[in-house]
């Protein structure tokens, strides 16, 4: 650096440079000076371009130095022994703590340090050997339960995984990450619905926190009962609409537990920093109220302001202790799903997965169907889409689809959406029209040329509209019957799409086999729950696309966390959907494959999370995370952002334990 450059460098050095533990002071100085140079040039047009050029050089030098330092540290950490973990327990207390317990994996020196010698069999079994041993037990269970009902087998698989979870969390999450395709249907949909239905009988030990109507006025102190000092991710439900199963009250806690397990497996959220929450405000399920094993409040659900005051108090308590935690609302009945989303989304970093996560995955699939037709994405504005189900998920899909159309066509967009509920086609003529559905209600002038009217049936709408897409979020199993599916053969699309997205499997609008049999082999098929691919004969395969929220919500949560977003904006959600939609190659799309394999869920989450992070920066809601501030985030390239997200994913290994009194 010549004398003039040094002088300029000193001139614009900020008065107080804090030397970071992670970035040497010279890099901090370079970074800060570059910022001042660029800012000074921008604010004073009379200066020549010299400042800007020098500032640009400094930016590049600083960024290169930071990147090199981080890469070198990653290389060191990848080959070094995992860092020690300080524990304040000894002896049997360690063995009874699933976070620290290694079962027979404690080395002899560690057994001596922690007072474990004699409390375990003498042989030390490595982590890899424990892994193999568990998988052999699991495969043996599969073999021994052959021929039994699906429900019996699914619950048996859930039990063996849950026992491991209760005993050894590190091994549990390693097993889950490595076998996510096999185990996701057990810990998540569809088995989680069965678990929730039977949760009071399956309950063995508490997991998560329970806030009830009886705790009003106590939540601000209760929140400090949770032992973790830091929480990054919270999933909360009130149990009022669990999947398509209705009001399950306190038994709905299985949903937050399952969702957060997916967060750990897919997004690498540290499991010590997650919190499943049940908000128990009663239940209107008479069967549960009369069940002697039911573990929740035996009272009707709170309503109105009384209900909202409970949710308000919880949100304030969480924000007071963990102001940067992301809160995901899950399986609230429609009126409260929309109410709480609008009430909190501008105040807290939160989102509703049923409304926004489902919508994002559906939108990615809808954009994929446009590509499958060989059309540009801009043609999405011309797609005729029939949505069956006017609940929170169905309306969420239409709202996000409308935003996408408006983005493509501007404010004059005229989307061709048709919304159907249990009373038929929704129009502006409907008495007591739900305000949430009103933006998608058709006027008489829009449909009279089609021969449709208020309340027209599903089969009438499909026959007369000839939609490009038929999408179900109704929760009514089999509503896409043979007649409806055959009517889709007359679609105006060369490659019509059918999405049977309701969960669990028994509530799916149709099966994959039924769709390909009746609607034809040239369709694109998506579902909420897993189905096997369909053998169409002659070497042809009907691909099943599981339009599962797990493609998006882990990335939305992780990207929001790492950006330090104050709130989660619509553009952040749109960015997530567009990222997922572009993930597949044109060749895959032409074969009818809209979504990637669950096996690569961590790579998918990294890209989605990076897209969300970049959108948060662009929307100016990012405040940074840890020692990485918003300025540094804003100067990361796309590839650097993806790597940054990957570097912040937790991975399960046994850390050495050191006792401290």
Which residues carry out catalysis? 188, 259
331 among annotated binding-site residues: yes
Tokens of 368: 């994929």
352 among annotated binding-site residues: no
354 among annotated binding-site residues: yes
3-state secondary structure of 384: strand
Instruction: Decide: 434 and 441 in contact? Cβ < 8 Å.
Output: no
Dihedral sign from CA coordinates of 486, 488, 492, 498:
negative
Length of the chain measured in residues: 661
- How far apart are the C-alpha atoms of 435 and 441, rounded to whole Å? 10
Helices (H) and strands (E) in the chain, counts: 28, 16
Q: How far is the first Cα of the chain from the last one, in angstroms, to the nearest whole number?
A: 52
**For residue 430, how far is the Cα from the chain centroid?**
35
Burial of 567 by CB count in 10 Å (0-12 exposed, 13-18 middle, 19+ buried)? middle
Instruction: Decide: 286 and 231 in contact? Cβ < 8 Å.
Output: no
Instruction: Decide: 265 and 180 in contact? Cβ < 8 Å.
Output: yes
Tokens of 449: 């040329």
- How far apart are the C-alpha atoms of 106 and 99, rounded to whole Å? 13
588 among annotated binding-site residues: no
Helix, strand, coil percentages (3-state) for the chain, rounded to 5, are 55, 10, 35
Omega within 30 of 0 (cis) for the link into 190: yes
Instruction: Decide: 360 and 385 in contact? Cβ < 8 Å.
Output: no
330 among annotated binding-site residues: yes
- Residue 300: closest CA among 213, 430, 185: 213
Helices 50-79 and 25-43 meet at what angle, rounded to 10?
Answer: 150
- How far apart are the C-alpha atoms of 550 and 554, rounded to whole Å? 6
Sequential DSSP letters for 411-474: TT---EEEEEETTEE-BTT-TT--TTTGGGPBPHHHHGGGT--TT--HHHHHHHH--SEEEE-S
User: Which long-range contacts link 303-311 to residues 24+ away (Cβ below 8 Å)?
Assistant: 307/281, 307/336, 308/339, 308/340, 308/343, 309/216, 310/211, 310/213, 310/216, 310/279, 310/281, 311/238, 311/279, 311/336, 311/340, 311/343
151 among annotated binding-site residues: no
Half-sphere exposure (CA, 13 Å, Cβ side) for 521?
A: 9
Where is the binding site for a divalent metal cation, in residues? Answer: 330-331, 354
Where is the binding site for (S)-malate, in residues? Answer: 241, 503, 548
Where is the binding site, in residues? Answer: 241, 330-331, 354, 503, 548
């Amino acid at each position: 650096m010549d004398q003039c450059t040094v002088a300029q460098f000193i001139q614009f050095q900020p008065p107080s440079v804090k030397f970071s533990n992670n970035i040497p002071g010279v890099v901090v100085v370079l970074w800060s000076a570059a910022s001042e140079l660029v800012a000074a040039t921008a604010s004073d047009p009379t200066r020549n371009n010299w400042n800007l050029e020098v500032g640009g050089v400094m930016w590049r030098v600083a960024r290169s130095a930071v990147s090199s330092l981080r890469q070198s540290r990653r290389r060191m950490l990848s080959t070094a022994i995992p860092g020690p973990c300080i524990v304040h327990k000894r002896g049997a207390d360690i063995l009874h703590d699933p976070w620290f317990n290694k079962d027979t994996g404690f080395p002899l020196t560690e057994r001596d340090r922690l007072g474990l010698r004699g409390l375990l069999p003498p042989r030390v079994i490595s982590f890899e050997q424990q892994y193999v041993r568990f998988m052999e037990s699991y495969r043996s269970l599969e073999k021994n339960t052959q021929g039994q009902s699906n429900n019996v087998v699914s619950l048996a698989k859930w039990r063996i995984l849950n026992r491991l979870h209760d005993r050894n969390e590190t091994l549990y999450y390693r097993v889950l990450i490595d076998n996510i395709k096999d185990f996701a249907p057990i810990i998540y949909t569809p088995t989680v619905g069965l678990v929730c239905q039977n949760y009071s009988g399956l309950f063995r030990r508490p997991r998560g926190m329970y806030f009830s109507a009886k705790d009003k006025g106590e939540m601000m102190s209760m929140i400090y009962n949770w032992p973790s000092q830091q929480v990054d991710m919270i999933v909360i439900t009130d149990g009022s609409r669990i999947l398509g199963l209705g009001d399950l009250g306190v038994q709905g806690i299985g949903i937050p537990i399952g969702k957060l397990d997916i967060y750990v497996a897919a997004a690498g959220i540290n499991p010590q920093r997650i919190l499943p929450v049940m908000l128990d405000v009663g239940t209107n399920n008479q069967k549960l109220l009369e069940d002697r094993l039911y573990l929740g409040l035996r009272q009707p659900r709170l309503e109105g302001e009384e209900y909202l005051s409970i949710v308000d108090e919880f949100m304030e308590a969480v924000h007071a202790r963990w102001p940067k935690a992301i809160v995901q609302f899950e399986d609230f009945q429609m009126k409260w799903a929309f109410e709480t989303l609008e009430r909190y989304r501008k105040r807290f970093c939160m989102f509703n997965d049923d409304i926004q996560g489902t919508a994002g995955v559906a939108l990615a699939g809808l954009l994929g169907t446009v590509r499958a037709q060989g059309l540009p994405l801009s043609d999405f504005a011309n797609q005729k889409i029939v949505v069956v189900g006017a609940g929170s998920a169905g309306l969420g899909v239409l709202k996000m689809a409308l935003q996408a159309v408006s983005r493509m066509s501007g404010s004059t967009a005229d989307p061709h959406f048709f919304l159907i509920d249990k009373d038929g086609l929704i129009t502006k003529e409907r008495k007591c029209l739900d305000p949430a559905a009103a933006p998608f209600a058709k006027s008489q002038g829009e449909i009279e040329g089609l021969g449709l009217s208020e309340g027209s049936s599903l089969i009438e709408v499909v026959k007369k509209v000839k939609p490009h897409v038929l999408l179900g979020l109704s929760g009514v199993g089999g509503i896409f019957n043979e007649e409806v599916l055959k009517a889709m053969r007359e679609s105006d699309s060369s490659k019509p799409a059918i999405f049977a997205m309701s969960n669990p499997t028994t509530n799916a609008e149709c099966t994959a086999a039924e769709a390909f049999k009746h609607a034809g082999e040239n369709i694109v098929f998506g579902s909420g729950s897993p189905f096997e691919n369909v053998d169409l004969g002659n070497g042809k395969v009907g691909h099943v696309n599981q339009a599962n929220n797990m493609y998006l919500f882990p990335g939305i949560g992780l990207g929001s966390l790492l950006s330090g977003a104050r709130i989660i904006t619509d553009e952040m959600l749109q960015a997530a959907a567009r990222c997922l939609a572009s993930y597949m190659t044109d060749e895959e799309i032409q074969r009818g494959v809209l979504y990637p394999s669950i096996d690569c869920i961590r790579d998918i989450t990294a890209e989605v999370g990076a897209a969300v992070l970049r959108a948060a920066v662009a929307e100016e809601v990012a405040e940074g995370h840890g020692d990485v501030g918003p300025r540094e985030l804003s100067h990361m390239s796309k590839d650097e952002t993806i790597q940054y997200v990957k570097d912040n994913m937790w991975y399960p290994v046994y850390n050495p334990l050191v006792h401290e009194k």
